[in-house]
Structure 1
Amino acid sequence: MFAVLPAAVLFDMDGTLVDTEQLWWEAVADVAGRVGYVLGETDAADVVGHGIGHTAGYLHEVVAEAPCVHELTDALDAAFTTRVEARIEPLPGVLALLDGLAAVGVPLAIVSASPRRVVDLVRDALGSARFAVTVAAEDVARTKPDPAPYLAAATALGVEPSACVAVEDTIVGVTSAEAAGCAVLAVSSTTAIAPAPGRTVVASLASIEAGDLGKSPVPQG
């Protein structure tokens, strides 16, 4: 695990705080189906962990006679938001970890590639007072895997990225956080993520407590 409590913990949202990765996949499959494309495993690299703009651009490329990227973006946004509104569910261990970090005075942020209205829905469902900062897709010029979202969160909190721990569940998000200079706690639940220097991998947040987090990793046994 990690040795020293961080200056802040920056949480990815989809698939990390709440069980929305499946909702995102369902939304993309729905929109793809409307334009005659069947989403499959080979599409995962351009769907899982990516923002709406990226996936809309991907569908525009792979679907013959697809609508314009703007139309696909709007359709994906609507399909995803509808599902999130109906089915927001914290993942195991999330609320206990958020409470534990708050109890020891560690500020928290949501750093997501999802649109602002989805981020706000999830923030409010989990308790808006828990998070000092939220970064959504519209808040940065480039979203994950670019480091911009994590750099923006650290700047808003007034801390150095290197003093933060990012909690992520996809390699896209891990790439973003590590490029920003954060240590990473990766939840390898839906996609395999290998341990690496500065990165600890766990199966679930249910086994993690506030004291397990910090910016400097301890070698894993």
Structure 2
Amino acid sequence: MTSTVPQSLARTTDGSALQAVLLDMDGTLVDTEGFWWDAEVDVFGELGHRLDDSWREIVVGGPMSRSAGYLIRETGADIGLAELSVLLNERFEARIADTVPLMPGAERLLAELARNNIPTALVSASHRRVIDKIMASLGPERFALSVAGDEVPRTKPHPDPYLHAAGALGAHPSRCAVIEDTATGVAAAEAAGCRVVAVPSVGVIEAAPGRVVVRSLEDVDLSFLRSLVTPLN
């Protein structure tokens, strides 16, 4: 985990019930979910296996151990999980070496949160080495904290990453708004007790109690996020 913003930003000062905003990375802030699938297709192609397009929705948004393990089982590829994880990370990093495309509305939303001193954390199932590269494009100064999938005992869909982020920011999970793009991430945030905004990238996510589904980050601003969180009694 890394922290890049002074601890003085650990709580809001405007009386709002919203204490923090926690954001997923791939497919939520940056348009990279396709990059991961392309990397998986390339690597398995070199191993002599063709990936079925239907598997894409299954592996998206999860930890490397789950997605890579699933693809090994389905293809029968003769490769270990650790070796495959290295190859996938290297192939993905090569694809983001030049530029990382931001999702529509991401730049505006991050700027608004920073301008209003809203404690903001990046919470991803990606490894630290990948997060650090992408944060260079997002602006690391905009995040009080970042949590990587290889830095917690259990990553998404378990609640641990979001519970850690909320605790590190001094926020109650029920007063945190989480923005996610996959069912795996939504499950993690809801298990942590956070309010969730789902912006589906791959697959369908339905609205549910405590969960709002929007078309893109263009539909999300600070006023909207504040409206989702009610004060604790």
Equivalent-residue separation in structure 2 for 1:202 and 1:216 (angstroms):
13
1:81 lines up with 2:105 in the alignment: no
Match of 1:172 in 2: 184
| Structure 1 range deviating more: 124-133 or 61-70 | 61-70
CA drift of 1:87 comes to: 3.5
Whether contact under 8 Å (1:187, 1:202) holds in the other structure is yes
Q: More displaced, 101-110 or 177-186?
A: 101-110
Do 1:189 and 1:203's aligned partners in 2 also have CA atoms closer than 8 Å? no
Q: Secondary structure at the match of 1:114?
A: coil
* 2:78 equivalent in structure 1: 66
| Partner Cα separation in structure 2 for residue 131 and residue 39 of structure 1 | 36
Number of residue pairs the alignment of both structures matches: 215
1:184 aligns with 2:169: no
Alignment of 1:208 onto 2:220:
yes
Give 5+ residue unaligned stretches, structure 1. none
Q: CA deviation at 1:5?
A: 5.4
Instruction: Tell me, yes or no, if structure 1 residue 199 matches structure 2 residue 211.
Output: yes
Q: Residue 16 in 1 paired to residue 18 in 2? A: no
Percent sequence identity is 46
Amino acid at match of 1:49: G
C-alpha deviation, 1:65, in angstroms: 4.5
What does the per-residue CA deviation read over 1:169-209, in whole Å, with 9 as the maximum and x for residues that have no partner? 00010001000111000102432110000101000001222
Q: Aligned equivalents of 1:110 and 1:140: distance in 2?
A: 14
3-state SS in 2 of match to 1:37: coil
Rounded Cα–Cα distance in structure 1 between residues aligned with 2:77 and 2:53: 22
CA contact (8 A) 2:126 2:149 kept: yes
Can you give the 5+ residue segments of structure 2 that lack an aligned partner in the other structure?
Answer: 1-15
TM-score calculated relative to the size of structure 2: 0.87
CA distance in 2, matches of 1:36, 1:123: 34
Give the partner amino acid of 1:18.
V
Q: Which residue of 2 aligns with 1:49?
A: 61
Indicate the residue corresponding to 1:128 in structure 2.
140
In structure 1, how many angstroms separate the alpha carbons of the residues matched to 2:96 and 2:185? 20
Do the aligned residues in 1 keep the contact of 2:176 with 2:229 (CA within 8 Å)? no
TM-score by length of 1: 0.91
Structure 1 residue 113 and structure 2 residue 125: aligned? yes
The answer to whether the 8 A contact 1:169-1:191 is kept is no
- RMSD (Å), alpha carbons: 1.7
**2:49–2:77 contact (8 Å) kept in structure 1:** no
Residue identity opposite 1:81 in structure 2? E
Moved over 6 A (4+): none
Aligned to 2:9: none
Counterpart residue identity of residue 170, structure 2: G
Residue of structure 2 in register with 1:90 after alignment: 102
Kindly provide the amino acid, as one letter, of the partner of residue 128 in structure 2: R
Q: Quick check: 2:68–2:85 contact (8 Å CA) kept in 1?
A: yes
Contact 2:57 2:202 in 1 (8 A): no
Aligned in 2, Cα 1:26/1:15: closer, same or farther, shift over 3 Å?
same
